[in-house]
Amino acid sequence: MTVTTSTPVHKGIGGSPLRPDGTLKVTGEFAYSSDLWAEGMLYGSTLRSPHPRARIVRIDTSAAAAMAGVHAVLTSADIPGKKTYGLIADDCPVLAIDEVRYHGEPVAVVAADDLDTARRAAKAIVVEYEVLEPVSDMRRAAFDAESPRVHADRADNIVRYQPVRRGNPDAADLQDRVAVVVTREYEVGMQDQAFLGPESGLAIPTEDGGVDLHVATQWLHVDQEQMAPCLALPPEKVQLTLAGVGGAFGGREDLSMQIHASMLALRTKRPVKMVYDRRESFFGHVHRHPALMKYTHAADADGRLVYAKAQLLLDGGAYASTTDAVVGNAASLGIGPYECDDVLIEAYGLYTNNPPCGAMRGFGAVQACFAYESQMDEVAAALGMDPVEIRRINAVKEGSILPTGQRIEGPAPLREILDELVTMPMPPEPSLPEPGEPEPRTRVPGERWELPPGGYGNTTRGEGVRRGVGYGVGIKNICYSEGFDDFSTARVRLEISGGEPIASVHTAAAEVGQGLVTLQAQIARTELGVDHAVVLPADTQVGSAGSSSASRQSYMTGGAVKTACEAVRMEVIELARRKFPELLSDDESWSDIHLADGALHLGAGVATGARLLARLSDVLGTDVVEATREYHHRRTNPLDPETGQGDSHVQFAMAAHRAVVDVDVELGLVHVVQMDVVQDVGKILNRLSLEGQIQGGTAQGLGLALMEEIQTRDGLVRNPSFTDYLIPTILDMPPLNMRILEFADPNSPYGLRGAGEPPTLSSTPAIVAAVRAACGRPLRRIPLRPEQIALVEGYGDEGGEEDV
Amino acid sequence: MQVSINVNGTDYNAEVEPRHLLVRFLREDLRLTGTHWGCDTSNCGTCVVLLDGEPVKSCTVLAAMASGHSVRTVEGLEGPDGLDPVQQGFMEEHGLQCGFCTPGMMLTARALLDRNHDPSEEQIREAISGQLCRCTGYLNIVRAVRWAAEHQARAQTESPSQSETAGV
């Protein structure tokens, strides 16, 4: 297998044409969901629970309803249809029913003439609660039979338990080979997607009694599917159009204000707009599952893994959301991209009264990755081995068998990725100021940006600064797994306008910033040989595209657009054959016709002697050719509930990072000096968009390593603001050097691999490993806190056992 | 209370509540929704506008404080000759993904380039260090601003000869 390089086609696949939405986004005209406006519209507001767990004794809406300018005050009693919804299990109340199960759960909604009135009215609703003891410790939720149950109708607090058993890690004959055994516990805090555009949308009642909702979401059709029964409407009376999306990262996969605004619009017969403020946004969407993980890795003297055991607890919070699938990922990818024949992984997704958790970039694979990569470093250290070498020795490759029994089909070039990574240049060594030289923070920025850890706040002369280098590798499943058919649909139309052929592409796929609109047009240009391709607004007037998640849209909606283009192309050729049968001689075949440069050619390219047959404008005339196609990935299978065996995943993608950090070991502060990343993407479809995904994914992994955590105490969220929930600024983000490999996947469109998530996985453990190398502390909980690095021995690492 | 604010070259006389923020005035009263509202706590910078040429977070300025001053928003970036080099740079260098932070980033970049035609990467980083982007990891934003600096410089070295020609 060789590394290939792309030859860019003008504005087609492999090129980097400008985003079609770019002009609107730089002129301020792009309409985000929070910018929408309709004549006569009302504003909605939500009353949320102040308690993580309480019984609702009484709700009195009379004072709120009597306020001037208030048009509706609705509680669960007013839900027109089904009172609960959910992506996998429908256990989440539209508005709290008799009980609240997390801090911030919606209890009532209000519509009023303006936002201030709506908020005041929400505050005027009287709710009498009987406060109950919350289930806030996921260990108790999992294993304490005395723990209260979050959902009284369930036998326990376990959303899903998924073991994966391969071989027998306890087999006596394995022990002879074991040179080291490392058992450690790890913890991951609750990360937030922190998209900048708040949850928002505009619901407009229609004349036929339905509702049109303009909303920022990741999957229009799954919103529709969940909304319609709750609104007691047939799905066709609930139409959705994608409004401008200000980032998503998984946080818009679950419903937020969709049903609430629609209920209010149906009740008031007026358009209703809802926009969360930042505080409400922290309560208004699910987060990344916090995790407690206990791992044992055993290796032989050469560093080869002999067996591995892992127990992962994932805190799903009050409602199921996508916890089921997150558990499936954590279990099936639990020891990462390494070969090991004797494995036991046990993954639990739990109900607690903490904030609900669901999808965030990396989806279950992120938490496991932090643990298994930390373990690989521990094993290497115990053996005195190089951290890259131990990963090379154990790396999966094409044909490797994962713990689930699934064989990796197609390239799995982890060794090639690592070999590339170690050739990348390192930054210059840090230097302490000489006596008499100014302290680092006052240096005039020179060639390179080198603030000390802590930036301008660091008043030392850098005496406590130590440099560290660390590595991280991640493996992510692409597309939905475990038997789910997450197909996508595309409608492609080709016609002549102003003498020029124009392709228009219509899908329901959500552009959330990743650049899917650019890619759809690139595919249409490449497949139809036209210059002008238009991507129509995404809505529910065309079939489902599935979600903009799981790094799947290039694969799935890309595949659908490609397939629909192929159908259009065949019809165009058929049209040519009917209209101009004389174009080809008897020994030439219509199946050898290609579309390029707005014309039909015999043969694949001008360079190979292709012959121009006819312009598309002549072939089409006033005819319009249109095709709608669904694209399905190959079938997958559920994991066996007892053994965890099954071909559960469609495709795998891998990335590796190297992080270089400066750590002030006395102050506990970290400055990431440089990061390097290598990722295999199968095929580069759009280099600019791809690089943007890898850069952004790396930054979010950096955030999880160093700063991002929703902090809860007894179920109460303590930091719902950007003052207290920190995300990386540009001063936190180091230079990122990147190498991209193209080992084509024979089964995917163009050979591509989904690319958005893998860099989020590997970034985090690389940074933490680098900080460990600098400060010599175990650091088994993320995000890292200064006190873990600098203060009391073992602080924040209570769970970790010492060397076994 | 009565305010008079020049926004993108147009004088607006309006009645506002004294408590209303400039971002609210721009978005709700003038419906200039290119100025975004992202956090309420002056952290994110999606609401950055230029107040008398200086970047400010318009959620930290009362509409009343802007009275008698001039405000430039993203809607006022484009000139008679087309997009500002900063706008073009964000497109060319893929300095935006979801684009929610982009107007604020561009206005800060505009102010930087107005006083420093050739900023270093470090100076660009420092200029936008008070604003958040969640999509890009910032690296392409730096490139976008550099693109603007280079193309602005090129345009300025070309324009004197053009004006001379016009003078003749």
Domains of chain B: 2-76 (3.10.20.30), 85-160 (1.10.150.120)
| CA dist., res. A762 & res. A740, Å (int) | 15
Contact B37 A34 (CB under 8 A): yes
The owner of tokens 């690095």 is: A789
- The answer, yes or no, to whether residue B85 has pLDDT greater than 50, is yes
Nearest CB partner across the interface for A19, out of B36, B39, B91: B91
Residues of A numbered 425-454 whose beta carbons fall under 8 angstroms of chain B's beta carbons: which are they?
A: 445-446, 449
Work out the minimum CA distance from A309 to partner chain B, whole angstroms.
35
What mean pLDDT do residues A296-302 have? Answer: 98
Q: Confidence band (pLDDT; 50, 70, 90) for A4?
A: very low
Size of interface A-B (CB pairs under 8 A): 181
- The answer, yes or no, to whether residue B155 has pLDDT greater than 90, is no
pLDDT of residue A447: 43
The CATH code of domain A138-192+287-367 reads: 3.30.365.10
- The answer, yes or no, to whether residue B115 has pLDDT greater than 80, is yes
In a 13 Å sphere around the CA of A405, the CA atoms on its Cβ side amount to 16
Contact B134 A279 (CB under 8 A): no
A34 contacts in chain B (CB < 8 Å): 33, 36-37
| CA dist., res. B7 & res. A343, Å (int) | 65
Residue in A with minimal Cα distance to B129: A730
What are the strands, taking DSSP E only, across chain B? 2-7, 10-15, 48-51, 54-57, 70-72
Contact B38 A278 (CB under 8 A): yes
B32 contacts in chain A (CB < 8 Å): 28
| CA dist., res. A182 & res. A385, Å (int) | 14
**What residues contact A386, with CB distance under 8 A and at least 6 apart?**
A380
**Apex A98 CA angle, A95 and A100, nearest 5:** 65
Amino acid identity, residue A428?
P
Q: Confidence band (pLDDT; 50, 70, 90) for A77?
A: very high
Q: Determine contact: A119 vs chain B, CB below 8 A.
A: no
- The answer, yes or no, to whether residue A23 has pLDDT greater than 70, is yes
Percent of chain A with pLDDT over 70: 95
A18 contacts in chain B (CB < 8 Å): 91-92
What mean pLDDT do residues B102-129 have? Answer: 96
Residue in B with minimal Cα distance to A361: B135
B71 contacts in chain A (CB < 8 Å): none
Q: Per residue in A273-293, pLDDT tens?
A: 999 999 999 999 999 999 999
Q: Cβ of A593: how many Cβ atoms within 10 Å?
A: 24
Work out the minimum CA distance from B39 to partner chain A, whole angstroms.
5
A722 contacts in chain B (CB < 8 Å): 38-39, 41, 43-44, 132
Which pair of tokens denotes residue A475?
Answer: 């493996």
Contact A727 B132 (CB under 8 A): yes
Contact B36 A18 (CB under 8 A): no
CATH 3.40.50.261 is the classification of domain A407-474+651-790: no
Contact B41 A692 (CB under 8 A): no
CATH topology for A22-29+486-631 is Aldehyde Oxidoreductase; domain 4 (3.30.365)
Q: Confidence band (pLDDT; 50, 70, 90) for B163?
A: very low
**H-helix or E-strand spanning residue A786:** helix A786-790
| CA dist., res. A173 & res. A690, Å (int) | 47
A699 contacts in chain B (CB < 8 Å): 136-138
**What residues contact A181, with CB distance under 8 A and at least 6 apart?**
A296, A297, A298, A804
pLDDT of residue A608: 63
Q: Determine contact: A38 vs chain B, CB below 8 A.
A: no
Average pLDDT value over all residues in chain A: 94
Rounded to the nearest 10 degrees, what angle do helices A365-383 and A758-775 cross at? 40
A22 contacts in chain B (CB < 8 Å): 90-91, 96
CA dihedral A786→A791→A797→A798, nearest 10 degrees, is -140
The owner of tokens 């900080």 is: A771
Residue in A with minimal Cα distance to B97: A513
- The answer, yes or no, to whether residue A794 has pLDDT greater than 80, is no
- The answer, yes or no, to whether residue A437 has pLDDT greater than 80, is no
Looking at chain B, how many residues does it have? 168
B126 contacts in chain A (CB < 8 Å): 445, 731
pLDDT of residue A664: 94
Q: Per residue in A545-595, pLDDT tens?
A: 999 999 999 999 999 999 999 999 999 999 999 999 999 999 999 999 999
- CB of B102 closer than 8 Å to CB of B93: no
- The answer, yes or no, to whether residue A27 has pLDDT greater than 50, is yes
Which pair of tokens denotes residue A571?
Answer: 């019809």
What is the SS3 assignment for A601? strand
**H-helix or E-strand spanning residue A111:** strand A106-112
Examine domains A22-29+486-631 and A33-132+198-245+252-284 and report if their fold is the same: no
Instruction: State the best of A18, A23, A26, A737 to mutate against chain B, taking most chain B CBs within 10 Å.
Output: A26
In a 13 Å sphere around the CA of B24, the CA atoms on its Cβ side amount to 18
ipTM of the complex: 0.95
What mean pLDDT do residues B12-32 have? Answer: 97
- The answer, yes or no, to whether residue A103 has pLDDT greater than 70, is yes
Q: Determine contact: B140 vs chain A, CB below 8 A.
A: yes
Residues of B numbered 76-135 whose beta carbons fall under 8 angstroms of chain A's beta carbons: which are they?
A: 77-78, 83, 87-88, 90-94, 96-103, 106, 120-123, 125-126, 128-135
Q: Determine contact: B33 vs chain A, CB below 8 A.
A: yes
**Apex A619 CA angle, A615 and A621, nearest 5:** 105
Contact B34 A28 (CB under 8 A): yes
Instruction: State the best of A21, A27, A196, A674 to mutate against chain B, taking most chain B CBs within 10 Å.
Output: A196
Q: Per residue in A119-138, pLDDT tens?
A: 999 999 999 999 999 999 99
Among A371, A282, A356, which Cα is nearest to A324's? Answer: A356
**Apex A581 CA angle, A579 and A583, nearest 5:** 105
Contact B91 A722 (CB under 8 A): no
Q: Per residue in A165-188, pLDDT tens?
A: 999 999 999 999 999 999 999 999
Contact A28 B97 (CB under 8 A): no
A500 — alpha (psi -120 to 50), left (phi > 0) or beta? beta
Looking at chain A, how many residues does it have? 804
Work out the minimum CA distance from B160 to partner chain A, whole angstroms.
28
pLDDT of residue A606: 57
Work out the minimum CA distance from B168 to partner chain A, whole angstroms.
35
- The answer, yes or no, to whether residue A69 has pLDDT greater than 60, is yes
Q: Per residue in A531-540, pLDDT tens?
A: 999 999 999 9
Q: Cβ of A77: how many Cβ atoms within 10 Å?
A: 11
Among A412, A477, A760, which Cα is nearest to A646's? Answer: A477
**H-helix or E-strand spanning residue B151:** helix B139-167
**What residues contact A593, with CB distance under 8 A and at least 6 apart?**
A573, A576, A600, A601, A602, A613
Contact B98 A245 (CB under 8 A): yes
Residues of A numbered 245-304 whose beta carbons fall under 8 angstroms of chain B's beta carbons: which are they?
A: 245-249, 277-279
What mean pLDDT do residues A206-233 have? Answer: 98
pLDDT of residue B159: 58
- The answer, yes or no, to whether residue A408 has pLDDT greater than 90, is yes
Work out the minimum CA distance from B167 to partner chain A, whole angstroms.
33
Torsion sign over Cα A611, A617, A621, A622: positive
**What residues contact A66, with CB distance under 8 A and at least 6 apart?**
none
Q: Confidence band (pLDDT; 50, 70, 90) for A607?
A: low
A25 contacts in chain B (CB < 8 Å): 90, 96, 99, 102
What is the SS3 assignment for A544? coil
What is the SS3 assignment for A34? helix
pLDDT of residue A444: 54
Work out the minimum CA distance from B9 to partner chain A, whole angstroms.
16
The owner of tokens 């643990």 is: A371
Q: Determine contact: A18 vs chain B, CB below 8 A.
A: yes
Contact B32 A28 (CB under 8 A): yes
pLDDT of residue B167: 37
Contact A731 B97 (CB under 8 A): no
Contact A721 B102 (CB under 8 A): no
Which pair of tokens denotes residue A20?
Answer: 């079609």
Work out the minimum CA distance from A331 to partner chain B, whole angstroms.
28
Residue in A with minimal Cα distance to B137: A696
Q: Determine contact: A719 vs chain B, CB below 8 A.
A: no
Which pair of tokens denotes residue A719?
Answer: 């930091």
What mean pLDDT do residues A617-633 have? Answer: 98
Strand partners, A639: none
The CATH code of domain A33-132+198-245+252-284 reads: 3.90.1170.50
pLDDT of residue A500: 96
Which pair of tokens denotes residue A59?
Answer: 């709700």
Contact B44 A729 (CB under 8 A): no
Q: Per residue in A133-167, pLDDT tens?
A: 999 999 999 999 999 999 999 999 999 999 999 99
Domain boundaries, chain A: 22-29+486-631, 33-132+198-245+252-284, 138-192+287-367, 407-474+651-790
